[in-house]
Amino acid sequence: MTVLGHWLIIAALLTTAASALEYYRSTFRREASLTRPRTLLRISTALVLVTSGILLAQFVRHDFTNSYVYSYSDRSLPLHYLISCFYAGQEGSFLFWVLCSSIIGLVLQRAAAKRGGESWLLAVYMTVQTALLLLVVAKSPFRFLWDTFPQVSPGTVVPDGQGLNPLLQNFWMVIHPPTLFLGFAAMAVPFSYALAGLWKREYDLLCAKAFPWVLFATAVLGLGIMLGGYWAYGVLGWGGYWGWDPVENSSLIPWLTGIALLHTLLAQRRTGKFLRTNFLLAVASFWFVVYSTFLTRSGILGDASVHSFTDPGATVYWMLLGLLALLLLGGVAAVMVRRKDLRPAPSSRALFTRETALGTGTLLLLLIALVVLFGTSLPIFSSIRVEPSFYNNTSLPLAILMGVLVGYSLYMPWEEEQGKDTLRRSLLALAVAGGVTVLLVAMGVRDVLMAAFAFSALFAFVVNAQVALKIAKGDPLFLGGKIAHMGLAVFFLGVMGSGRYSSAERLGLPEGTPQEALGYTFTYLGQTRLPDGKFAFPISVEKEGRSYRVVPVMFEAGEQGVMRNPDIVSLAAEDIYVSPQELEQAQDPGGPVREYTVAKGGTVTVDSVRIAFSRFDMGQHAQMGQSGMAAGAVLEITKGSERETVVPVLRYGENRSIKYQDAYSNLIGAPVRLQAVEVGMNAQGSTVTIALPGKQASAQARGILFVEASVKPFINFVWLGSLFMVAGFVLAIIKRVREA
């Protein structure tokens, strides 16, 4: 199947290139038949679909003769994670991008056949598709294991694969990458409309026909970014959802330019202005998509970003760089060649108009994009790295102005009017936003910029809510923009609350001992081992008679070291976020010690509790971030009808030092220590010596769990605002598609 997949993707490249060429030829013939390029497009799409199906089938069937399947999966993964293995690496992610682009190409061809301009539009789009397929052929997911790993003999069938990165084994990472790639692929459509319009001299083509596609691309890309933030918040354990990492930023930039394009397209439809701006923004948005891919997959940010892929090789590196150069030079050159034709409609010097507000809002979006671009690209040219505070400090004033504009723009007409009329209409919103801001200041918001940020967000929310109530009486589909703006305002409030007013504290929690912090009582309940080998650390969190339970997890992930997964209690007004750091086991149980030697397969009874030594576990060497060689003993403990498994560990450090990683037993009511290990020549000759504290010391010497606990006010507003924005986009897309 690997050989078949390899040749099918080459066939897809050839048919795609042939389709682009046939579409190009048809632009020179008035009565040219489009049967051939359409057929080639459909064949190309079918080949990409079949090729993707083959790769997916290899993952499901555990075909480890395929190097890509071997590198990113193993037999223990459930089906949904096997599916996500498809796009876990560079090779598969390129193929998935092409898959999304192929499906979009089919939809685009059908739409263009009905509305005109198919030859020019598809000639550009299929050329872009050809470039993407070249990347897939250069970085193919269809290579034999022995071609990638020379130490493996040809024809060798290995029993298992290397497995999927534990951080990617999460529901949100199943849907986050494909959502991003769908947004990336969709952003090629407005780019194609822009070049086709310039080529054909139909300068309203972009504005008239690409608007639903811009909506779709920005909506999907924004959703993908939000899902990535939610995954980071719930899995990585550092306590946030956005760290201004270069790879995170690289997907934000095309989203910002896409949002700017949406607003200037609206202005062009009404006033005929922003003509050049829209063509440049359409080109820039897709260029930044490819730039994002370059940053993520070229390995150029390997030292600056935790998310960056490794070096894909010189071929792919230079191909991506060449594609960036062609897109930039081709797009800018096309605009420059047609610059005399792209003269906007005569502009008035009116100040208080919606056109002015949209233009100013676009400028603010582009300034934010420029700030992010500078900080993101700096590691390429310099060893200097900008801190998150750089982005926060530069973006905050711009965001404040944007919030005010999002509100005021709806009160401004397209024509000139007196500023006092706009001010009069906004009095109610100003009063509500001002009153709530005063209340927030009374509650503790002392930072002037934060108070201004809250005011601008509240003002934008109230204005859009007012307008939405009026629109709701008519056609609900007109609510899309207002709901999206309300979502942005709610998002801003969530960013302010969870970012500026979050409180955190590092806690050392002795087992069974309540501890006060952050207004809550935290009680560590003891370590448990999950069926998959991970260690869970249940913690009771109490406040004013209300009790919650969090279960953070730590586990060993091979070369990546110890993974720490947080757990969260989501309340209406705040989140309680608990991230595990390390477990410090008691080194001295105290009091008289009782020792028992148990043979492998044997048992010992202590105070009506039966302890059986079943086997050694040599995989405990780094469970808690410890170093050195270690051995663990799997002990099955039974008391009446209750049963549990504990694994105490004996660790040998430097200079023959010994450390004990005790395992607390709920049935014994004390920590169990592995005192000594004797490995015999056969199974019957192996023994372990375990130590238990005396009865009077059983309640002592329990482990101490160190955690990072934090309370994040109004963080749910971040997710709620994001969902509002996506919902607004969906309504707007439906409206524009119906119009089309």
DSSP code per residue over 121-133 = HHHHHHHHHHHHH
Which residue has tokens 């952050």?
518
Which residue has tokens 């769990």?
705
DSSP code per residue over 529-573 = E-TTS-EE--EEEEETTEEEEE--EEEE-GGG-EEEE-EEEE-SS
Rounded to an integer, the average pLDDT of 194-218 is: 91
3-state class (DSSP) for residue 458: helix
- Residue 517 contacts residue 505 (beta carbons within 8 Å): yes
CA distances (Å), 101 to each of 34, 98, 104, 514, 635, in order? 20, 5, 5, 55, 54
CA distances (Å), 634 to each of 33, 601, 646, 651, in order? 74, 11, 6, 15
Rounded to an integer, the average pLDDT of 558-563 is: 73
pLDDT given for residue 624 in this prediction:
40
Q: Is the pLDDT of residue 307 over 70?
A: no
d(C-alpha 191, C-alpha 126), whole Å: 12
Compute how many other C-beta atoms are within 10 angstroms of the C-beta atom of residue 457: 31
Which residue has tokens 């490995």?
679
Residue range(s) in the chain whose domain bears CATH number 1.20.120: 1-164
pLDDT band at 462 (very low <50, low <70, confident <90, very high): very high
pLDDT given for residue 312 in this prediction:
56
d(C-alpha 624, C-alpha 627), whole Å: 9
- The region of weakest confidence among 130-134, 168-172, 465-469, 559-563 is 559-563
pLDDT given for residue 684 in this prediction:
60
> What proportion of the chain, given as a percentage, has pLDDT over 70?
90
What is the Cα 414 distance to its own chain's centre?
A: 39
Arithmetic mean of pLDDT over the chain:
86
Q: Is the pLDDT of residue 545 over 90?
A: no
3-state class (DSSP) for residue 443: coil
Q: Is the pLDDT of residue 623 over 50?
A: no
Q: What does the CA dihedral 184, 190, 191, 195 come to, rounded to 10 degrees?
A: 160
Q: Is the pLDDT of residue 191 over 70?
A: yes
Residue type, 400: I
pLDDT given for residue 630 in this prediction:
76
For 283-301, what is each residue's pLDDT tens digit? 999 999 999 888 877 767 6
Compute how many other C-beta atoms are within 10 angstroms of the C-beta atom of residue 339: 11
pLDDT given for residue 551 in this prediction:
95
Q: Is the pLDDT of residue 128 over 70?
A: yes
Supply the Cα-derived Rg of the chain in whole angstroms: 30
- Residue 229 contacts residue 173 (beta carbons within 8 Å): no
pLDDT given for residue 622 in this prediction:
40
3-state class (DSSP) for residue 124: helix
Residue type, 247: V
Q: Which of 598, 669, 678 is nearest to 639 (CA)?
A: 669
- Residue 317 contacts residue 298 (beta carbons within 8 Å): yes
3-state class (DSSP) for residue 659: strand
Residue 509 β-bridge partners: 705
Which residue has tokens 């691309």?
217
The whole model's pTM is what? 0.82
- The region of weakest confidence among 265-269, 400-404, 476-480, 554-558 is 554-558
Rounded to an integer, the average pLDDT of 333-347 is: 79
Residue 630 dihedral angles phi and psi, to the nearest 5°: -150, 160
Q: Is the pLDDT of residue 399 over 60?
A: yes
What is the Cα 471 distance to its own chain's centre?
A: 34
- The region of weakest confidence among 89-103, 498-512, 542-556, 557-571 is 557-571
3-state class (DSSP) for residue 247: helix
pLDDT given for residue 11 in this prediction:
96
pLDDT band at 365 (very low <50, low <70, confident <90, very high): very high
Q: Is the pLDDT of residue 264 over 50?
A: yes
Q: Is the pLDDT of residue 304 over 60?
A: no
The residue count of the chain comes to: 740
pLDDT given for residue 620 in this prediction:
45
3-state class (DSSP) for residue 718: helix
Structure tokens of 215?
A: 């909506």
1-164: CATH class: mainly alpha
pLDDT band at 396 (very low <50, low <70, confident <90, very high): very high
Strand 528-529's sheet: what is its strand order? 528-529, 535-536, 553-556, 562-565
pLDDT given for residue 12 in this prediction:
96
- Residue 91 contacts residue 138 (beta carbons within 8 Å): no
Structure tokens of 707?
A: 């955690």
Rounded to an integer, the average pLDDT of 444-452 is: 91
For 152-172, what is each residue's pLDDT tens digit? 888 888 889 988 888 888 888
pLDDT band at 723 (very low <50, low <70, confident <90, very high): very high
pLDDT given for residue 701 in this prediction:
47
| Neighbouring C-alpha atoms within 13 Å toward the C-beta of 369 | 22
Contacts of 377 (CB under 8 A, 6+ apart): none
Most confident of 212-226, 265-279, 645-659: 212-226
Helix axes 246-271, 211-231, angle to 10 degrees: 150
For 605-616, what is each residue's pLDDT tens digit? 888 899 999 888
d(C-alpha 357, C-alpha 344), whole Å: 17
For 94-114, what is each residue's pLDDT tens digit? 999 999 999 999 999 999 988
For 63-75, what is each residue's pLDDT tens digit? 999 999 999 999 9
Structure tokens of 579?
A: 């991230």
- Residue 87 contacts residue 99 (beta carbons within 8 Å): no
Which of residues 113 and 740 earns the better pLDDT score? Answer: 113
d(C-alpha 3, C-alpha 7), whole Å: 6
Rounded to an integer, the average pLDDT of 435-455 is: 93
Structure tokens of 325?
A: 């150069």
